[in-house]
Amino acid sequence: MKHLFAFFLSLRLTVVCLLLLCVLTVVGTLYQVDYGLYTAQQRFFDSWIVLFFGVIPFPGTQLVLLFLFINLFANMMLRFQYGAKQSGIIMIHLGLMLLLAGGWVTRQFGQEMFLTLQEGEGSNLASDYHDWEIALWREGQTRMRDVVAIDADYAKPGRVLPFEEFGLRLVVEEFHRHARAFRSTDPNADFGILNSTRLIRLDPARPHWEPQENVPGGMFLIQTADGQSQPLLLFGGDQAPTIFEHNGEEIALSLRRKRYQLPMNILLLNFEKTFHPNSDIPRSFASAIEVDLQGVTRDVLIEMNRPFRYQGYTFYQASYADLDHGQHLSTFAIVLNYGRVIPYLATAITFVGLSVHFLIALYTRRRDL
Amino acid sequence: MMRFWYGLFIIACGLSVPATLAYNYEAVEDPAVVADTIAEMDEMAESVVSQLRLDDLTEFRRLPVLHNGRKMPMQTYARLLLVQLSGRTSYEGEPAESWLARLILDPVSTLDDRVFLINHPEVAQALNIPVDENRRYSFTDLHGAMGRLGNLAQRAARLESDDRSQVENELLRLYANQVLYLDIYHSFEFARPHPAFAIEHDELIQALDLPRQDRPYRFFDIFVRAGSLQSLIEPLATKQPDQWSDLEHAAYALSSRMYDWSQRHQESTFVMIPLMSHGEETWLSAWDSFALGFRDATSLEILNALAEMAEAYQAGQQLDFDMAARHFRRLVAERLDDDRGMANLDREVRFNDLNALHRATWLYGWAFFVSLFALMGRSRWPYSISLLLLALAFVLHSTGMIMRMVIMGRPPMTNLYATFIFVSWVCVILGLFVELFQRNRMGVLTGSLSGVLLLMFSRRFEMEGDTMGAVVAVLDSNFWLSTHVTTITAGYAGCLLAGVIGHVWLLQAAINPMRTERLRSIYYAMMAMLGFGLTFSFLGTMLGGVWADQSWGRFWGWDPKENGALLIVLWTAVLYHARLGRMIGDVAMAAGTIVGAIIVMMAWLGVNLLGVGLHSYGFTSGLATNLFAYTAFELLFIAILAPLAKWRMVNV
C-alpha cells in the first residue's frame, strides 16, 4: 500500500506520463497523414491501450490521463503545501484537474449529430455521423409515425433481430460496415430479393478513413409468425425504404443513420453565402432558421462563428450544397454537451494560476521559477 | 520581321487562350489554334512604341485594382505581378509600378524586358532557348518557343498535381505567366490607335462623326459612337449583301471587327472597374465593360478616363495623365461608396514606400552585430549603439505592423506571414524586457537575433504572393483572431526566445563556465522566457479550443495544429517537473529549451506540411528541407555543446 502511495505521489510518474503523452501526440498526429483523423483519434487518443505494430502494447491516452489525474489528485491531497506563495501552483493544478474531468464528462455524455435541410424544409430529427440503425414502421401514418429501430451494430451474421410489434423478425445473413451494392443488368429479371431499388447483391468494401463516409449494407431473411420467409437486402444508400406486405399492412424497412429526436423543430428559411469580389474565397455562410419550441416559434440566424444554443444543444453552420434553381441544402452540426462550460472555467483558473505563479517567482527572484 | 512574329503571337494567344487566373492550369488550350491568325499580324505590328516616358507615377500607383478578392493600389499589384513573373519586386532598378505602366500603356517597350524567371535550366533546354545565367528571359526570347511551351504545358496539365515533376510544374508556371503577361499587355489596347480601325471610307467617317486624322482610330473612338454605327447596320438585316452600298459594307466590316475585339479579351484578370449590383460588388476589366455593353453614363466616363490616361501617357503629358488618373479614381470611389477602402489604398502606398519591415530587418541585423562587439569588449559605447539600433528597429517594426493592421482592419495575424511579423515583434519586446531587468546585453543580443532571423524568414512568404490577402469565412472573426492567435503566437515567441537564450547559456558554459554570476543571470532569463512561453502557449491552446467550441462545436479534436500547440505545453511541463524532481540539471534544462524551440517550429510550420486538418493553410515549397536542416543543426549543436558544457563545468 505504501509503495502504491509512493508510486502515485511520485514526480517521476508525472514526468513519465507527460512524456508518454508527448509520444502519443506525435505518433497520433503523424498517423493522421495516412489514416485520417478519426482512425488516429480512435487508436491513440480515445483508447486505453495502443498496440504498436499490432503486438507491442503501449498505454493509450485515456490510460495515461487517468494516471495523471490520480497522480495530480494524490499530490494535491497529500503533498501540496497550501499557502499564499503556493496559490499559483494550486490554481494551475486545480484548473488542470477540472480540465481532465471536463474532458471525461464530454466523452461520456456528449452527443454529436447533424441535420441537413433544404430551404423550406423542416425537421426535428438529427442523424448520427457514424452509427446506423435498422428501422421499421407502418406506411400510411402521416403526421406521426411509430418507428421501431435496432442498432446496426447488433446485426452480426446468424443473429435474429426481433420486431414483435410487426409480427416478424429479421435473420442476419451477412452485414458489412461499408458495402458496395449491385443490381441486375436485366431490368425484368426477378431474383426474389426484396429491395426498394432492385439491388440483388452486396460486396464488402474496405471501410473508409472517415467513418461517416461508410455506407453499410446487409442481407437478411424476413421471417413471419406464420413461418413464411423471404430474402431482404437493405443498403444504406437506398433512396427509399423497402416495403414488405404482411397481413394486409405495408411495413417499411430501412437501414438508415441513427436518428435522434430534438426538443424542437427546425425549419430552414433561407441559406446565403457570400464571396470576396471576383473570387471563390468565401466571406460568409449563414442560415436563417425558424425554431419551433412546442408551438412557440422564433427566427434565428446561424453563421460561421455564431452558433445557436438551446438547452445543452448547439447548432453550428457546418456545410452547404447548391441545388438547381438557386436552392440550397444547409447542414448543421449539432452537439449536445452538458460539460461545455467546464473547459472555459478550467482554462481561466489555470491561466490565472500560471500568471500568479510566475509573477510571484519573478518578484521573489526564485532561481527555477 | 521580328515585329511580325510578335504580332502573330500576341494576337494568337489573345484569341486562343481565354484569359486565365494565374496558375489556372486547367485552362491550358490547344496551341494548334495559334496558327489561324496570320491575317491580323501586320496590323498588330504597327503598335506604337512611345519614346516619351512619364517619371511621376504618384497618381497612377494609387489607382485601385482588384486582385484575389482584395482591393489594392496599383503599386502593390505591380509588385505582386513582377514577383510572380520575375521573382523580384522591381525590374533592373525600375520600380514595379513604372514597369507595369509601360506594360499596360506602352506594352511594346516591355517585349525585350527580361522578366520571365525560369528556375529550372531543363525548361529552357526543353524550349530550345539559350540558357541565361540570370535565369530571366524576355518575351522576345521566348516567343519562338511559344507553340512548344503550349504543347508541353498542355501535357503537364493533364497529370495529377502530385505526379508532376519540378520541370513540369515550372513549365506550367511559365505558361501561366505568359498568359498573364499577354492578358495585361492587351488590357489597354482599346485606348491605342490601331490599324484595325484605320477608316478610309470618308462617308463612314462622316456618318460616325469621327474627327479627320492621319493616324488610325482607337477601338474606344468607335465604341462611343456605337449608336451611330448600329443605325447604319440595322437595315442590313433585311437586305441581301449584293444590295449593300459601299458605306454599308464598310460599316458592317467595322462592326464585325468591333465585336471580335470586344470578345477577344473577355474575362481578363486585370480588373479595375467596380460594379455594384444587388448589393454585391463585382469588378470588371475594361474589355468586359465593353463586351457586356455597359454604356451608361458613368461606365462611359470611367472608360473615357482610362482612355485619356493612356493617351496622355503615350504623349508624355504629365498633367493630363495625372488629371485623368485622379478623375478615374474619383469615379470609382463614387461607385464603391467605400471611403475607408479608398483611404486604405493611400495608406498601403505609404506602407509600401516606408518599407518599414525590411528596414527593421537590416537594423536588427546591425544591432545584433554591434551587440556581439559589446559582449567582447569592455567599452560601453557598442552596447549603447546596439540598444539604440534595436530600439529604432523596433519602432519601425511596430510602425509596419500597425500600418498593416490599419489597412487590413484586422489583428496582426491573418496568415502565416503575419505570424512571423508578430512573433518576431514579441521576441524583441521580451528581449527588451530582459535587458531592462538584467542589463547584461543578453536581451539586446537575443532580441535582435530573433528579430533579424524571423523577419528574414518572413520574406520568403512575400515571394509567394499577397501578404494582406482576403480572409476566409472561418477566420473572419476579429475577436478570436486577436485572442487565440495573439496568445498562441506570444507563447511561441516566449518558447523560441527561451531556446535562443538556451543556446547562449550552453555557449557560455562551454567557453567560460567560471563566470557563474553571468551564467546565473542567463539561466534566470531563460526560465523567465520559458514561463512566459508556457503561460501563453497554454492560454492560446485553450482559447483555440474555445474558438473551436464556438465554431465547430467541439473543444478539442486532436487536429494536427492543436496537437502541435499541446506538445509545446506538454514539453515545457516536462522540463519544469523534471527540474523540480531534480531529474535534470542546468545543462539538460538549457538543451531542453532548445528542443522546445524545435517543437515550436514544428507546431508553427511543420504541421502545415502534413497537409491534413483544419489548419493546413500556408504550405510553402522548400519548407520541409529548411525545417529538417534547422532540426539537424540544433540537435548537432546540443550533441556537441551539452556534453562539453557539462565537462567544462565539472573540470574547470
- B535-586 confidence digits (pLDDT tens): 999 999 999 888 888 777 778 888 888 899 999 999 999 999 999 999 999 9
- Number of domains composing chain B: 4
The whole-angstrom separation of Cα A323 and Cα A273 is 13
Q: Which domain covers residue A270, as residue numbers?
A: 111-123+261-336
Confidence at A55, pLDDT banded by 50, 70, 90: confident
In eight-state DSSP terms, residue B475 is: G
Q: Which of B170, B187, B204 is the last residue of a domain?
A: B187
Question: Domain check: are A316 and A275 in the same one?
Answer: yes
From A151's Cα to the closest Cα of chain B, the distance in A is 25
Question: Domain check: are A331 and A345 in the same one?
Answer: no
Q: Which tens digits make up the pLDDT trace of B18-36? A: 222 233 333 444 443 333 3
Q: Which of A260, A285, A318 is the last residue of a domain?
A: A260
Q: CB distance B473–A304 less than 8 Å?
A: yes
Instruction: Tally the residues of chain B.
Output: 652
What sign has the CA pseudo-torsion B161, B165, B166, B170? negative
pLDDT of A148 higher than 50 = yes
Contact list, A37 vs chain B (CB under 8 Å): 557-559, 612-613
> By C-alpha distance, which of A129, A133, A73, A128 is closest to A100?
A73
Question: Domain check: are A349 and A295 in the same one?
Answer: no
Q: Which of A237, A260, A283 is the last residue of a domain?
A: A260
Question: Domain check: are B268 and B392 in the same one?
Answer: no
Q: Which of A11, A18, A314 to probe the B interface (max B CBs under 10 A)?
A: A18
In eight-state DSSP terms, residue B216 is: P
Per-residue pLDDT, averaged over B626-631, amounts to: 89
Q: CB distance B474–A305 less than 8 Å?
A: yes
- A157-163 own/partner pairs: CB under 8 Å, 24+ apart: A161/A134, A161/A220, A163/A136
Query: What is the separation of C-alpha B461 from the centre of its chain, rounded to a whole number of angstroms?
Result: 8
> By C-alpha distance, which of B473, B76, B195, B1 is closest to A303?
B473
Q: Within 10 Å of residue B231's Cβ, how many Cβ atoms?
A: 11
The whole-angstrom separation of Cα B86 and Cα A354 is 50
3-state secondary structure B132-177: CCCCEECHHHHHCCHHHHHHHHHHHHHCCHHHCCHHHHHHHHHHHH
B419: in domain: yes
B85: in domain: no
More confident residue, B46 or B260: B260
Question: Domain check: are A306 and A364 in the same one?
Answer: no
B504: in domain: yes
Per-residue pLDDT, averaged over B344-364, amounts to: 95
Q: CB distance A369–B530 less than 8 Å?
A: yes
Question: Domain check: are A265 and A118 in the same one?
Answer: yes
Question: Domain check: are A355 and A305 in the same one?
Answer: no
Mean pLDDT of chain B: 84
Confidence at B613, pLDDT banded by 50, 70, 90: very low
The whole-angstrom separation of Cα B143 and Cα A173 is 69
Question: Domain check: are A137 and A245 in the same one?
Answer: yes
And the C-alpha cell for A216?
453499410
Q: Which domain covers residue B396, as residue numbers?
A: 355-471
Question: Domain check: are B363 and B423 in the same one?
Answer: yes
B363: in domain: yes
Question: Domain check: are B16 and B153 in the same one?
Answer: yes
> What's the pLDDT score for residue B99?
95
Question: Domain check: are B433 and B549 in the same one?
Answer: no
Residues 595-624 of B with CB under 8 A from A: 607, 610-613
Question: Domain check: are A224 and A142 in the same one?
Answer: yes
The whole-angstrom separation of Cα B302 and Cα B365 is 47
What sign has the CA pseudo-torsion B484, B490, B492, B498? negative
> What's the pLDDT score for residue A143?
67
The whole-angstrom separation of Cα A39 and Cα A156 is 22
3-state helix, strand, coil in chain A (%, to 5): 35, 40, 25
B378: in domain: yes
Q: CB distance B558–A19 less than 8 Å?
A: no
Question: Domain check: are B292 and B386 in the same one?
Answer: no
Q: Within 10 Å of residue A205's Cβ, how many Cβ atoms?
A: 16
B606: in domain: yes
Question: Domain check: are B247 and B387 in the same one?
Answer: no
> What's the pLDDT score for residue B43?
43
Q: Which of B282, B539, B551 sits opposite A305 (nearest CB)?
A: B551
Q: Which of A15, A62, A105, A114 to probe the B interface (max B CBs under 10 A)?
A: A15
Q: Which tens digits make up the pLDDT trace of A289-329? A: 999 988 889 999 998 778 888 888 889 888 888 888 888 99
Q: CB distance B470–A283 less than 8 Å?
A: yes
Question: Domain check: are B217 and B272 in the same one?
Answer: yes
Question: Domain check: are B12 and B148 in the same one?
Answer: yes
Contact list, B583 vs chain A (CB under 8 Å): 11-12, 15
Q: Which of B342, B363, B391 is the last residue of a domain?
A: B342
Q: CB distance B574–A333 less than 8 Å?
A: no
> What's the pLDDT score for residue B300?
87
Residues 258-317 of B with CB under 8 A from A: 271, 274, 280-283
B481: in domain: no
- Is residue B171 within 8 A of residue B156, CB to CB? The reply is yes
Question: Domain check: are B330 and B365 in the same one?
Answer: no
Question: Domain check: are B649 and B508 in the same one?
Answer: yes
Whether B573 and chain A come into contact, CB under 8 Å, resolves to yes
Nearest CA in chain A to B269: A278
Q: Which of B274, B473, B567 sits opposite A285 (nearest CB)?
A: B473
- Number of domains composing chain A: 4
B369: in domain: yes
Half-sphere exposure of B418 (CA within 13 A, CB side): 22
Q: Which tens digits make up the pLDDT trace of A351-361? A: 999 999 988 88
> By C-alpha distance, which of B529, B581, B538, B440 is closest to A358?
B529
Question: Domain check: are B552 and B581 in the same one?
Answer: yes
pLDDT of A331 higher than 80 = yes
Nearest CA in chain A to B475: A305
Contact list, B528 vs chain A (CB under 8 Å): 358, 362, 369
- Is residue A95 within 8 A of residue A354, CB to CB? The reply is no
The whole-angstrom separation of Cα B502 and Cα B594 is 6
And the C-alpha cell for A240?
427509399
- B571-574 own/partner pairs: CB under 8 Å, 24+ apart: B571/A22, B571/B595, B571/B596, B571/B599, B572/B495, B572/B530, B572/B533, B572/B534, B572/B537, B572/B596, B573/A18, B573/B534, B574/A15, B574/A18, B574/A19, B574/A22
Q: Which of A260, A275, A310 is the last residue of a domain?
A: A260
Question: Domain check: are A147 and A164 in the same one?
Answer: yes
Question: Domain check: are B262 and B308 in the same one?
Answer: yes
pLDDT of B621 higher than 60 = no
- Is residue B593 within 8 A of residue B499, CB to CB? The reply is yes
Question: Domain check: are A242 and A182 in the same one?
Answer: yes
